[in-house]
Amino acid sequence: MSQTLYRKWRPRQWEEVVAQQHIVQTLRNAVAGGRVAHAYLFAGPRGTGKTTVARLLAKAVNCLDPDPARRPCDKCDYCVAANEGRFLDLIEIDAASQTGVDDVRDLRDKINFTPNQGKYKIYIIDEVHMFSNNAFNALLKTLEEPPPHAIFVLATTEIHKIPPTVLSRCQRHEFRRLPVDAIVAQLQKIVGEENLQAEPEALTLIARQSAGGMRDAISLLDQLASAGQAITLDLTQAVLGTATSQTVLALVEALLNRNPAAGMDAIHTALDSGADPRLLARQMVDYLRALLLIQMGNASQVDLSADVRARAETHAARLSSAEVLRIIKIFNTAASDPRSGWQPSLPLELALAEAIESPAAAPVPAPSAPAKKAAPVEKPAPPPAKAETPLPAGESAELGLTLGQVTKAWKQVGAAVRNNMSLGALLNSSKLLELKNNTLVLGFASDILRNKADTPEQVEAIRKAIHEVLGVDLTVKFVVSNAKQTARTDVKPDGMVAAALKNGGEIVDTQE
Ligand SMILES: Nc1ncnc2c1ncn2[C@@H]1O[C@H](COP(=O)(O)OP(=O)(O)O)[C@@H](O)[C@H]1O
Ligand SMILES: [Mg+2]
Ligand SMILES: [Zn+2]
């Protein structure tokens, strides 16, 4: 499989576009009736089909099929050339990397050439909100008097940054987030045709985590498939960090039994073996939310493996919704508590104590009595990370460590994050892109995965693991890149992006 799945599965005909029917229908009618506008603005979240539809339009207006209603035919010379990224009259510009007015002047010069091959020259300007004022002004001039053979498609994820003067010159289309069902259906189709094995629950979880973006969903599927095993719910949860940990189950049991000692024990055991306190608090919230959904009769919305689900159902039956809500609020506060610097376990301990405190109704044993018995109070909580490993400042720069050496040791680094299962899985799925000036650049297949890794807690855990294995202190940075080949990143065009691109090739969304 040389091509990443989401590129391979870019729709080549109108019928293949999932959702967005309102837009597709309007554009098809315009093509069929020969009423195509000169400037379009496609707005909407990432990975919902803006570039895809722009390319379909470019193919449609130049397609050689005699019947306008059948364009694009996807078979004629021009359609094929466009599919292969060698159609000269389809010009894609990434505004994120071309903010200078020079490029726009260049653009204006280019625009005045007539089409090379087709009837129309199509300019797709991606992330157009990144244009500078000068660039917008230059664009506006062109939009005011577009050459008859030019069609502009401006695409943006941030429509509020587009000047009204530009907006008013464009026919606007809003791309919507895709429904979970639609994403699942598409994933199912891909799984079938690519001969992959995947549990339906795993696909649902992928779709839910993708926030309506088809690209992220397919990238995640690709990532999971690259392990060469069946895509199970367990694997997906491990990579996404959504698995319900034994600690969470133990904490909920402690709450139900009003047993603070057992709860404290669960917290300390988890933290001592390297779990992240805030992540743990968040997992509690996720699980409690699942209980709430079960109580409200929405069990189908819950992404839990079969055995955890069985326990969740018992837990849901033993608590009232009001209780669950109350406890969610408490742990939600703990998840965002900034006070944890010197005593990381404190917010969780407070949350547990508060949650266990009986609401007026419940008859409950006094919480203080059993606390001493089993709680490992003498066991010191893990000290703040900084004190634990005083690192020789700036030493690694001179160590001459190479990317190859880091790559070799990477499995060990993954293992060194120990109990943090999801982080280990994340690290194993990342790609090492660059090591320069003590900064290690890691590539992830999708935004979802990158964001999972890019939290202060995770960064700190990675830094510590690297130090443990390699004895150096590196800064880690994350970008979005393909599993097999470096791709377009979502980061501003700084050194990182340049580095990522240098390592792998082209900007994916410009041409393929
Ligand atoms: N509406 C859609 N229907 C089918 N596939 C889609 C759709 N939107 C996105 N995709 C998938 O995601 C990939 C990226 O989509 P793209 O059109 O580049 O998104 P955008 O430009 O909105 O960020 C496509 O190659 C395709 O695989
Ligand atoms: Mg795009
Ligand atoms: Zn054609």
Cα separation of 454 and 338, whole Å? 17
Looking at the predicted structure, is the pLDDT value of residue 87 above 70? yes
* CATH 1.10.8.60 domain range(s) in the chain: 180-240
Lowest mean pLDDT among 191-200, 467-476, 502-511: 502-511
Lowest mean pLDDT among 189-193, 240-244, 305-309, 420-424: 420-424
Looking at the predicted structure, is the pLDDT value of residue 461 above 50? yes
Mean pLDDT of 444-469: 84
Looking from the CA of residue 55, the nearest atom of ligand 1 is 17
Looking at the predicted structure, is the pLDDT value of residue 194 above 50? yes
Protein residue with its CA nearest to atom 17 in ligand 1: 49
| Tokens found for residue 248 | 């969470």
| 90: Cβ contacts below 8 Å, ≥ 6 apart | 55, 58, 82, 122, 124
Q: How far is the CA of 60 from the centre of ligand 3 (A)?
A: 7
Q: How far is the CA of 195 from the centre of ligand 1 (A)?
A: 21
Mean pLDDT of 360-377: 40
pLDDT at 332: 93
Q: Is 152 in the pocket of ligand 1 (CB under 6 A)?
A: no
Looking at the predicted structure, is the pLDDT value of residue 366 above 50? no
The ligand placed nearest to the CA atom of residue 78 is: 3
* CATH 3.30.300.180 domain range(s) in the chain: 396-504
CATH of 180-240, one of 3.90.660.10, 2.40.50.100, 1.10.8.60, 1.10.3080.10: 1.10.8.60
Q: What is the mean pLDDT of the chain?
A: 81
* CATH 3.40.50.300 domain range(s) in the chain: 20-174
pLDDT at 314: 94
Work out the pLDDT band at 275, boundaries 50, 70, 90. confident
pLDDT at 103: 65
Looking from the CA of residue 45, the nearest atom of ligand 1 is 22
pLDDT at 152: 95
pLDDT at 485: 37
Q: Is 50 in the pocket of ligand 1 (CB under 6 A)?
A: yes
* CATH 1.20.272.10 domain range(s) in the chain: 246-387
Which DSSP category does 442 fall into? Answer: E
pLDDT at 102: 61
| 7: Cβ contacts below 8 Å, ≥ 6 apart | 508, 512
Looking from the CA of residue 44, the nearest atom of ligand 1 is 22
Which DSSP category does 485 fall into? Answer: S
Q: How far is the CA of 215 from the centre of ligand 1 (A)?
A: 5
Looking from the CA of residue 178, the nearest atom of ligand 1 is 1
Looking at the predicted structure, is the pLDDT value of residue 108 above 90? no
- The CATH number of 396-504 is 3.30.300.180
Cα separation of 110 and 62, whole Å? 19
Looking at the predicted structure, is the pLDDT value of residue 110 above 80? no
CB of 470 closer than 8 Å to CB of 464: no
pLDDT at 418: 62
Work out the pLDDT band at 415, boundaries 50, 70, 90. confident
Q: Is 20 in the pocket of ligand 1 (CB under 6 A)?
A: yes
Exposure of 228 in the CB half-sphere (CA atoms within 13 A):
1
Looking at the predicted structure, is the pLDDT value of residue 483 above 60? no
Please tell me the pTM assigned to this model: 0.65
Work out the pLDDT band at 5, boundaries 50, 70, 90. very high
Q: Is 11 in the pocket of ligand 1 (CB under 6 A)?
A: yes
pLDDT at 384: 41
The ligand placed nearest to the CA atom of residue 187 is: 1
pLDDT at 509: 38
Looking at the predicted structure, is the pLDDT value of residue 13 above 90? yes
Q: Which of 22, 214, 219 to mutate to test the pocket of ligand 1 (most atoms within 8 A of CB)?
A: 214
Mean pLDDT of 158-168: 95
Q: Which of 174, 189, 215, 512 to mutate to test the pocket of ligand 1 (most atoms within 8 A of CB)?
A: 215
Q: What percent of the chain has pLDDT above 70? A: 80
246-387: which CATH topology?
Answer: Zinc Finger, Delta Prime; domain 3 (1.20.272)
Mean pLDDT of 115-126: 89
pLDDT at 148: 87
Work out the pLDDT band at 405, boundaries 50, 70, 90. confident
Q: Which CB contacts under 8 angstroms, 24+ apart, belong to 320-328?
A: 321/292, 321/295, 321/296, 322/359, 323/359, 323/362, 324/288, 324/291, 324/292, 324/295, 325/292, 326/355, 326/359, 327/255, 327/288, 327/355, 328/285, 328/288, 328/289, 328/292
Q: How far is the CA of 95 from the centre of ligand 2 (A)?
A: 11
Mean pLDDT of 227-251: 84
Q: Is 6 in the pocket of ligand 1 (CB under 6 A)?
A: yes
- The CATH number of 20-174 is 3.40.50.300
Lowest mean pLDDT among 19-33, 105-119, 190-204, 462-476: 105-119
End-to-end CA distance of the chain: 15
Looking from the CA of residue 53, the nearest atom of ligand 1 is 17
Closest CA relative to residue 377, chosen from 275, 278, 268: 268
Q: How far is the CA of 305 from the centre of ligand 2 (A)?
A: 34
Q: Is 289 in the pocket of ligand 1 (CB under 6 A)?
A: no
Lowest mean pLDDT among 164-178, 327-341, 363-377, 459-473: 363-377
The ligand placed nearest to the CA atom of residue 73 is: 3
pLDDT at 358: 61
Q: How far is the CA of 40 from the centre of ligand 3 (A)?
A: 21
Work out the pLDDT band at 273, boundaries 50, 70, 90. confident
pLDDT at 511: 33
Q: How far is the CA of 407 from the centre of ligand 3 (A)?
A: 46
| Tokens found for residue 437 | 């000036």
Lowest mean pLDDT among 350-359, 420-429, 446-455: 420-429
Q: Which of 13, 42, 52, 480 to mutate to test the pocket of ligand 1 (most atoms within 8 A of CB)?
A: 52
Q: How far is the CA of 344 from the centre of ligand 2 (A)?
A: 41
Mean pLDDT of 462-488: 74
Q: How far is the CA of 156 from the centre of ligand 2 (A)?
A: 8
Which DSSP category does 471 fall into? Answer: S
Protein residue with its CA nearest to atom 25 in ligand 1: 10
CB of 153 closer than 8 Å to CB of 128: no
Q: How far is the CA of 218 from the centre of ligand 2 (A)?
A: 15
Work out the pLDDT band at 192, boundaries 50, 70, 90. very high
What b/e string do you get for 502-512 counting C-beta neighbours within 10 Å, with b at 16 or more?
ebbeebbbbeb
pLDDT at 370: 39
- In 194-229, alpha helices (H): 200-209, 214-225
- In 228-305, alpha helices (H): 233-240, 246-256, 260-272, 277-295
